[in-house]
Amino acid sequence: MHRRVFWIFIAVLLSAPLAFGTVERWSLVLMETLSVSAFLLLFVQSCRKYKTFYDVPGLVPLVCLGAYIFLQVVPLPAAFVKIISPATFALYNDTVGCIRPPRWIPLSINPGATLSEFFRFSAYLSFYVLTVQLLSQKEMLKKTVGILAVFAAIMAVLALVQQATAFQTGGGTSRKILWFRELAHGGSPFGPFVNRNHFAGWMGMVFPVVLSLFLFWQTPRVDRSFRERIVGFLIQDHTYIKILLGGIVVLSAASIFLSLSRGGIVSLCLASLFFVILMRGKPANYRTGGMISMLLIVLLCVGWFGWEPVFKRFYEIQDIHGEFTGQRPVIWRGALRIARDFPFTGSGYGTFISLYPKYGHTFEHLTVKHAENDYLEFLAEGGGVGICLVFWFFSVFLYRSVRTFRKRNDPYSIYLFSGALAGIVFALIHNFVDFNLHVGANALYFFFLLGLAVSAVNTRISYRKGGTYLRRHVISRPGLTGFLIIVAGLSMMIVNISGLIGEWNYTSIKDIRLTPSLSKTLLLELERRSHRAILLDPLDARFRFAAANIDTFRSNDDLALKHYQAALRLDPTRGAYLQRLAAIFSGHAQLSAADRLFRAAVTFDPENPERNLRYAAWLLSRNRRQKARLYIRHGLDLDPGLTEETLTYLVLHGWTEKDMQAVLPRRVTAHLVFADYLLQVKKTDLAAEEYQKVLAIDPDNRNAKNRLKQIQGR
């Protein structure tokens, strides 16, 4: 049984990076299902045969963290939530409370997203425990590390060949993953990963482990001439292993440099420095010559591709005024604002994407899904409670691991533990500028390295019978304990797979436009699939909203209203849900509730022009012109391309040219469109004034110059 579990374990380890980094739902479900299945198989065997389990450092704080994530999904009394998380209560009260005052609300502002994070974390926790249990046997430990080294070489070669072919074709980056998979949402693929930073984050964790193996197989220090050392190296039995590992080290490091990931390169250098410092404290035949040789070869390898792209990436960090460029600092400020409002319990894991539009600046054609800093995102979503639990875990993990490390004299254990810990340090540094813990493969390898470090420092390598320094814990009531864990694990897998099937049903209908030309048969099929998706995953608000739209189209207004309300309860910050319900309440003459819902939509998505202009249109329908002007101006400032459509609407509502002129933002497109409209209605003086405003903003605008010449020529 252990052997079968071990090969499932290896399959997860190898498939996660190859599944394009495990960032899509299907690959996440596959990884989670295999990880939990392997853990359940191992636990069942332990309950039946051994009645014991190896001690896992930090298991209690990790279980507490998992329970805390699940607690965020559970509805609690609204009065209690108001005390421990006033911002969460206020959010639900300002949205769902427009329908009826909430009595029970969860700590998470999107319970479906938080439940998905709970499943993901449970899979990582299972893999950590699995790693400790399996790799406490020295044969499995050595086999796993050997497989990992070969796999790192394959990944590095794939990435380097892909990059070389990209340069030869004139581009700096390939637009396909491994030459065949098209990018669905943009990115800069490197190897099998959709983003070069994700690849660097993964390879940077693996590199120190491979480096530790290479240094372990080095020739011990002896006082011989250089010629004697070369001859001795070549005639040794394990020379081919040293050459192979040396090549893997060079390829791995070179691939990180050529990924052009600035965070990855800096983290690699700092993690390597940490490795050197850590090894300096142990007298196990350690020498720096091997590392220096590898460094020189890596530099030569990168130089073959050219250092210019690497230097250029670092030059781009600051502009000519010395200020930081890019989106990260802007996103970090937004994350800090969220953490300030949700300091104790956070907004719920997986909810950053829902709250960020309210607290941070959005970017054109870009949805900000993560904070580009795992610590800030963890603080915003988990609050102080989550941070304390993580600190508790690392305190226990480091205390127990380092205490055992100081007592070990086995070179293999010393080198491997140092490499695993350096890989963990790499991830901890890289997490300051990226979201590795939200990339499925990278987070899995982070927990794998935690387990590898525990196994490396505790597993007896030199002893003939093997064994481990980890204590065995007797499983109390193995039958009942095993039954409960199996039920929990199977339930998680069933819910996860059901959600994936629900996603497939939703994907098949989401892009179909509801038009009168659709046949009755097709409409019934759309309704059936939307309701099936809801049945399979009742916590996904998108499924409810899709069903509500179909019901509205089929004039099932009562059922549609129920689905709209359910969608809002599951995702109360989504502007589309808020404004759709606002329109329904307005139609039922519930104007106060409609106004609150329209305002909430703008509050939670202030930089969305559609939200602003729709609220403005509703205000105009209620003869609240003065307030509507503010939202019209802001909406057109966000998207001047909507000026023509907006002007048409204002004309129909009886606005004069002077009224329309007063709401235009200082944007070239807005003034050009308005000026062209004025020319059409023979208001040449006002049109000339608008063209002058365009030239004041953009003195070289040809359209404005030509139009002015035409006016003056008349």
pLDDT tens digits, one per residue of 280-325: 766 545 555 566 666 666 666 665 555 556 555 655 665 544 455 5
Question: Do 436 and 427 contact (CB within 8 A), yes or no?
Answer: yes
- pLDDT < 50: residue spans in the chain: 168-172, 221-223, 284, 320-322
- Grouping H, G, I as helix, E, B as strand and the rest as coil, residue 468 is strand
CB of 650 within 8 A of CB of 659? Answer: yes
Q: Which residue has the tokens 């899709």?
A: 546
As beta bridge partners, residue 182 has 176
User: Helix, strand, or coil here: 287?
Assistant: coil
Phi/psi at 223 (5° precision)? -90, 90
Instruction: Supply the DSSP string of 570-608, one letter for each residue.
Output: H-TT-HHHHHHHHHHHHHTT-HHHHHHHHHHHHHHSTT-
For residue 323, the model assigns a pLDDT of 52
Give the model's pLDDT for residue 169: 45
Q: Is 75 exposed, middle or buried (0-12, 13-18, 19+ CB in 10 A)?
A: middle
Dihedral angle sign, alpha carbons of residues 172, 267, 324, 358:
positive
CA–CA dist 26, 503 (Å, integer): 9
Distances in Å between the alpha carbon of 25 and those of 21, 123, 381, 439, 533?
11, 14, 21, 12, 15
Give all domains of the chain, ordered by start, each with its CATH number.
3-72+81-178+190-483 (no CATH), 509-573 (1.25.40.10)
| CA angle 83–87–92, rounded 5-degree value | 100
Contact 81, 107 (CB under 8 A): yes
The pLDDT assigned to 425 comes to 97
Give the whole-angstrom CA distance, residue 288 versus residue 583.
70
Distance between CA atoms of residues 147 and 375, nearest Å: 31
Distance in angstroms (rounded) separating the CA atoms of residues 417 and 450: 10
Amino acid 176: pLDDT:
75
- What three-state secondary structure class fits 439? coil
Amino acid 134: pLDDT: 94
pLDDT at 170: 46
Which tokens is 477 given? 């009531």
Cα 174–327–180 angle (5° rounding)?
A: 15
CA distance 18 to 604: 37
Q: What pLDDT does residue 199 have? A: 95
User: Rounded distance, CA 446 to CA 202, Å?
Assistant: 9
Cα end-to-end span (Å), the chain: 92
Whole-number pLDDT of residue 161? 87
Question: Which amino acid does the sequence have at 84?
Answer: I
Supply angle C-alpha 443, 448, 450, rounded to 5.
100
